[in-house]
């Protein structure tokens, strides 16, 4: 049986841990609200962009001169996986679920004889993937220390990716991120960035308003040349925002659980403490009484 | 009848209201969008968006580039970077223009992508300076 003093120390340390987890939960809740608002505000642009893309892509898909960003290079040899994670931990399985998913994807692709490269957005994912695939990391970005992500940052990432694609460093690009479904659930989502036509086709399956024949200025090709990199940036941006909202949601849930566990532990420890305190008193009483009787 | 104008930037929806006419800076030239315009998708160059109610301009925005989608009833502008013309600083605009010009002069004309980007920037900077002189 541990001494009373060590028990008291343990109770105090669990109490201060609980204070920290409670505070982290509050902070995550506040940040979640902001991140959600930001993700919501960015949605109209992304939706309109997707509409425009599918209107244009439908016409350009059969065109042999369609931009490579849309139809791909015709090969699927080298893959680039863009993994979006958080910069900070203590968010439950948030980061590791992305890490695990990406790892199993890489293993599967490599089993097919493909080459895989990784672009890591967020520090945690980079650290996780570096352990196993250090030589395959193509690049990484982190937003540690920044309050919120600006569109410019996503645009820079998109520029890097497009430049690498044009340089022929990969054929297919996939984005893996946590989609914010609700505060307690984030879904690992994979979406195809390059070639973009696969994703446009997926959009067409959704019920779309009656297709309108658009006049296009300056012309299909030039417009797509401009639109595609932009669309890439928008997709990365919304993935980062979704992931940010998901991160705070995950942290909130994780910290809520941690606070509850700490509470349970305090109760248990307090009970042990009280019992052993009482046992000590009883023991001392017995000693005093039996001492008095002996006299 | 009016066109439902929507101006959206990647970060948020900036404006959504009906307008009698919108003048947008298309890459091939300015376009006046009136109700019942034929469906059109165009990219934008750097320039000024003017919103008309009746015969008068109610709002002017400077846009650095982007896209516009027009149908008979609505006009959606997906702007890259957008700012109210009243908030533009002429000195800053001049500095931007000088910088864009310097970059443009150094760009290799044979590198198609780089050349396009540089010339887009130059046009955008010119448009910005022009916008500041027409507040």
CB-based burial label for B2 (10 Å; 0-12, 13-18, 19+) = middle
Residue B41 sits in the same domain as residue B74 = yes
Preceding omega of A218 cis (within 30 degrees of 0): yes
**CB of A39 closer than 8 Å to CB of B25:** no
Considering only CB atoms, A48 lies closest to which of B11, B39, B78, namely: B78
pLDDT at res. A60 = 65
Closest Cα in chain B to A233:
B10
Using the 3D structure, point to which of B66, B85, B104 is the last residue of a domain: B85
| Spatial distance between the Cα atoms of B125 and B62, rounded to a whole number of angstroms | 10
> What's the CATH code, domain A4-22+255-294?
1.10.287.80
pLDDT band at A62 (very low <50, low <70, confident <90, very high): low
- Average pLDDT estimate for A124-142: 88
Residue B67 sits in the same domain as residue B103 = no
| Alpha carbon of residue A196 to chain centroid | 22
Look at B40 and A213 and tell me if their CB atoms are within 8 Å: no
Determine if residue A59 is left, alpha or beta; phi over 0 gives left, psi from -120 to 50 gives alpha, anything else beta.
Answer: alpha
A4-22+255-294 and A31-253 have identical folds: no
Considering only CB atoms, B41 lies closest to which of A38, A44, A223, namely: A223
Look at A216 and B69 and tell me if their CB atoms are within 8 Å: no
CB contact B54 to A (< 8 Å): no
Q: Which chain B residues have a beta carbon less than 8 Å from that of A38?
A: 11
- CATH number (3.10.105.10, 3.30.450.40, 3.40.50.11540, 3.40.1380.10) of A31-253 reads 3.40.1380.10
Residue B119 sits in the same domain as residue B79 = no
ipTM of predicted complex: 0.79
What distance in Å separates residue A53's CA from the closest CA in chain B? Answer: 10
Look at B27 and A217 and tell me if their CB atoms are within 8 Å: yes
Q: Which chain B residues have a beta carbon less than 8 Å from that of A234?
A: 10
Backbone angles phi, psi at A150, to 5 degrees: -100, 160
Preceding omega of A195 cis (within 30 degrees of 0): yes
- Average pLDDT estimate for A208-220: 69
CA-CA-CA-CA torsion sign (A27, A32, A37, A39): positive
Task: Tell me what the pLDDT averaged over chain A comes to.
Answer: 87
Q: Which chain A residues have a beta carbon less than 8 Å from that of B9?
A: 45, 151
Interface residues on A facing B, Cβ-Cβ cutoff 8 A:
38, 41-42, 44-45, 48-49, 51-52, 55-56, 150-151, 154, 166, 212-218, 222-223, 226-227, 230, 233-234, 237
3-state secondary structure of B92: helix
Per residue in B63-110, pLDDT (tens digit) is 888 899 998 888 999 998 888 887 878 788 888 888 888 888 887 777
Q: Which chain B residues have a beta carbon less than 8 Å from that of A49?
A: 67, 78
Residue B27 sits in the same domain as residue B41 = yes
Residue B68 sits in the same domain as residue B95 = no
Residue B12 sits in the same domain as residue B76 = yes
User: From start to end of chain B, where are the E strands?
Assistant: 3-8, 13-19, 21-26, 29-33, 40-44, 47-53, 56-63, 66-70, 74-79, 82-84
Look at B28 and A218 and tell me if their CB atoms are within 8 Å: yes
Beta strand B47-53 with B21-26 is antiparallel
DSSP output for A202-268:
HHHHS--------EEES-HHHHHHHHHHHHHHHHHHHHHHHHHHHHHHHHHHHHHHHHHHHHHHHHH
Would you state the structure tokens that stand for residue A179, as one six-digit string?
């989609």
Per residue in A89-117, pLDDT (tens digit) is 888 889 999 999 999 999 999 999 999 99
Share of chain B above pLDDT 70, in %: 98
The answer to which of A23-37, A56-70, A193-207, A269-283 has the lowest mean pLDDT is: A193-207
DSSP secondary structure letter of residue B86: G
Residue B104 sits in the same domain as residue B41 = no
Considering only CB atoms, A151 lies closest to which of B11, B38, B67, namely: B11
Residue B48 sits in the same domain as residue B35 = yes
Residue B76 sits in the same domain as residue B118 = no
CB contact B8 to A (< 8 Å): yes
pLDDT band at B117 (very low <50, low <70, confident <90, very high): confident
pLDDT at res. A207 = 46
- What's the total number of domains in chain B? 2
Asked whether the predicted pLDDT for residue A81 surpasses 50, the reply is: yes
Structural domain boundaries in chain A: 4-22+255-294, 31-253
CB contact B38 to A (< 8 Å): yes
Write the CATH number for B40: 2.60.15.10
Closest Cα in chain A to B11:
A42
What distance in Å separates residue B56's CA from the closest CA in chain A? Answer: 27
Would you state the structure tokens that stand for residue B2, as one six-digit string?
């009016």
- Average pLDDT estimate for A245-256: 94
What distance in Å separates residue A155's CA from the closest CA in chain B? Answer: 10
CB contact B53 to A (< 8 Å): no
| Spatial distance between the Cα atoms of B33 and A236, rounded to a whole number of angstroms | 32
Host domain of residue B61: 3-85
- Average pLDDT estimate for B34-48: 89
Asked whether the predicted pLDDT for residue A200 surpasses 90, the reply is: no
DSSP secondary structure letter of residue B87: G
Residue B40 sits in the same domain as residue B96 = no
Q: Which chain B residues have a beta carbon less than 8 Å from that of A48?
A: 8, 69, 76, 78
Residue of B41, B69, B81, B120 for testing the chain A interface, max A β-carbons within 10 Å: B41
Q: Which chain A residues have a beta carbon less than 8 Å from that of B8?
A: 44-45, 48
């Amino acid at each position: 049986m541990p001494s009373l003093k060590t028990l008291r120390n343990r109770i105090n340390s669990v109490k201060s841990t609980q204070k920290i987890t409670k505070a982290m939960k509050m902070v995550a809740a506040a940040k979640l609200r902001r991140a959600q608002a930001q993700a919501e505000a960015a949605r109209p642009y992304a939706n309109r962009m997707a509409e425009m893309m599918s209107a244009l892509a439908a016409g350009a898909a059969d065109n042999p001169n369609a931009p490579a960003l849309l139809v791909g290079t015709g090969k699927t040899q080298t893959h680039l996986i863009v993994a979006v994670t958080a910069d900070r931990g203590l968010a439950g399985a948030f980061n590791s679920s992305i890490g695990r998913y990406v790892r199993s994807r890489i293993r599967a692709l490599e089993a097919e004889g493909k080459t895989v490269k990784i672009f890591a957005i967020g520090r945690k994912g980079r650290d996780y993937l570096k352990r196993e695939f250090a030589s395959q990391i193509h690049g990484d970005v982190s937003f540690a220390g920044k309050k919120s992500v600006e569109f410019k940052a996503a645009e820079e990432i998109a520029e890097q990716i497009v430049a690498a694609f044009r340089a022929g460093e990969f054929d297919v690009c996939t984005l893996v991120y946590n989609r914010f479904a609700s505060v307690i659930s984030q879904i690992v989502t994979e979406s195809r960035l390059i070639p973009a036509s696969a994703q446009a086709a997926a959009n067409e399956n959704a019920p779309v308003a009656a297709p309108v024949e658009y006049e296009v200025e300056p012309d299909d090709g030039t417009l797509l040349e401009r639109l595609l990199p932009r669309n890439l940036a928008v997709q990365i941006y919304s993935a980062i925002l979704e992931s940010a909202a998901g991160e705070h949601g995950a942290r909130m849930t994780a910290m809520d659980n941690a606070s509850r566990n700490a509470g349970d532990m305090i109760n248990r420890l307090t009970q042990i403490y009280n019992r052993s305190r009482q046992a000590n008193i009883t023991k001392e009483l017995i000693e005093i009484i039996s001492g008095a009787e002996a006299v | 009848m009016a066109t439902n104008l929507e101006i959206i930037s990647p970060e948020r929806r900036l404006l959504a209201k009906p307008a009698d006419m919108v003048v947008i800076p298309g890459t091939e030239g300015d376009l006046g969008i009136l109700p019942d315009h034929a469906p059109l998708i165009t990219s934008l160059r750097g320039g000024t968006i003017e919103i008309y109610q009746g015969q008068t301009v109610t709002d002017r925005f400077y846009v650095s580039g982007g896209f516009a989608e027009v149908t008979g009833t609505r006009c959606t502008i997906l702007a890259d970077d957008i700012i109210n013309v009243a908030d533009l600083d002429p000195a800053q605009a001049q500095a931007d223009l000088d910088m864009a010009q310097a970059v443009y002069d150094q760009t290799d004309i044979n590198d198609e992508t780089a050349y396009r980007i540089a010339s887009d920037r130059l046009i955008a900077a010119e448009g910005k300076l022009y916008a500041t002189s027409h507040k």
